[in-house]
Amino acid sequence: MVQISDLMIRHPEATSFADLERLVIEAARSGEIHLYFDIKPEYPDTPRKWETRLELAFYNAERVEK
């Protein structure tokens, strides 16, 4: 299981929601089975439906072009 906060804390270089989305995809590809939304990612570009965006990124990681 990976938590949103784990990704953000381990990757301080990620400064946007788009960066976080990429980290979520990488986590899924590395074998993580569960993504836990423990905190809201507060970036300037965080969309209103951020959970849906990250959920889709996580589930569809294998379909996204590498």
By CB under 8 A, name the binding residues for other proteins: 1, 3-6, 8-10, 12, 34-42, 51-52, 55, 58-59
Integer Cα distance of 54 and 21 in angstroms? 6
Give the residue with the Cβ less far from other proteins, 29 or 40.
40
Give the residue with the Cβ less far from other proteins, 25 or 35.
35
Integer Cα distance of 56 and 30 in angstroms? 16
Residues belonging to the chain: 66
Give the residue with the Cβ less far from other proteins, 26 or 51.
51
